[in-house]
Amino acid sequence: MTRAVIVDVVRIASGKGKPGGALSGTHPVELMAHVLRSITSRNNLDPALVDDVIGGCVGQGGEQALNITRSAVLSAGFPESVPATTIDRQCGSSQQAAHFAAQGVIAGAYDIVIAAGVESMSRVPMGTTTLGQDTGGPGIAARYPDGLVNQGISAELIAAKWKFDRDALDAYAAQSHQRAAAAAAQGLFDKEIVPISTTNAAGEVVSHVVDETVRASTTAAGLAGLKASFYTEKYAQRFPEAQWAITPGNSSPLTDGASAALIMSEEMAAKLGLTPRARFHSFSVAGDDPIFMLTAPIPATHKVLARAGLSIDDIDAYEVNEAFAPVPLAWAHEFGADPEKLNPRGGAISLGHALGSSGTRLLTTLVNQLEATGGRYGLQTMCEGAGMANATIIERI
């Protein structure tokens, strides 16, 4: 069977996803174009050899509409012959892009593919694409007569079910910032971050190379004073078990970012004289209760481990997206996972969650973590809107 390998992974340092954020002055097409140019140029790869570019983006409206990945390919200066498509599996969009890319290689449909992702939450805010309309229709309303809920409520329900109190959530969130700050101080992100020129508030052109969302001084005590983000009287009556412990401090921030992975067959890598860094081992995707919404990484992980013939103890590092602190905590509880292996360089609470980019961002960090520690297997999983999740196992080469 043809093996799909990861030759390289890159990302842009995170920007706060609001006006004035480090990347808010940069068009989202250029964010993705920048990682496409970077990953081909630093591997001395002729872009004309790329069979397809598969990009993830959640807010596909405004500046991110009309197949942003194709726009990015053209903006990057790739030949017009290179096609591209944009997909939406909510927060797992670019992880799914990597799955489709690798599976296309394994199937023999591709030799070289780039999986990428982008989100400019400062320029295309969450909710823009719904236009204020009902996105479910009568069938959904009949199946869920009490109504579906937002992800913050789902996070509250997970915290209540797994009995994570406010102190535990804030302690985990503070640890995420501390780990990310320590990794940055040690230069552990240097290999994955590609500099991008931006214009700061003073009108100066600067090189953006540091994750803007990381707050090194964050402590659990400091987070304790924040108010609950999602409490309403209506939801309090519907969900009396909720403790209203989810705050901006133990949630991922609005973020701008882009990332990319260069994926090809093992044979093509050898032909081009490129050294693969990892290979794709196993894949899964799963659905779960859309009210709890964020629990699908648990069945997705069960599925991918079974397909891989591995146990959780065989995995050397886990990247479980920190959409909200209860998500990785519940996942770790269910698997008895080693907390030292869980998001060891920090996660989305600190490094940010640029929705469509997060899947390949996690992959980027995971590949570099395995290389730095000499680990063999890495597992990545991502909760997604409407109760879904992807899971991926990679093996360092």
Provide the 8-state DSSP code for 22: T
> Phi then psi for 158, rounded to 5 degrees?
-65, -45
Q: How far is CA 382 from CA 1, 176, 324, 385, 395, in A?
A: 27, 16, 11, 10, 18
The phi-psi region of residue 309 (left if phi > 0; otherwise alpha if psi is between -120 and 50; otherwise beta) is: left
* 8 A C-beta contact, residue 390 and residue 89: yes
Beta strand 255-265 with 15-16 is: antiparallel
Task: Report CA torsion sign: 340, 345, 347, 350.
Answer: positive
**57: annotated active-site residue:** no
Catalytic residue chosen out of the listed positions 34, 91, 177, 208: 91
The residues, ordered by sequence, that sit 6+ positions from 175 with a Cβ below 8 Å of its Cβ are none
Structure tokens at 106: 């394994």
How many residues make up the chain in this entry? 397
Catalytic residue chosen out of the listed positions 99, 208, 281, 383: 383
Structure tokens at 291: 């009210």
* 8 A C-beta contact, residue 387 and residue 293: yes
Task: Taking each helix axis as running N to C, give the angle between helix 68-75 and helix 28-41, from 0 to 180 degrees, rounded to the nearest 10.
Answer: 60
Catalytic residue chosen out of the listed positions 99, 177, 281, 353: 353
C-alpha of 29 from chain center: 18
Beta strand 52-56 with 84-87 is: parallel
Smallest Cα–Cα separation from 392: which of 99, 157, 85? 99
Smallest Cα–Cα separation from 321: which of 382, 365, 368? 382
- Which positions are catalytic? 91, 353, 383
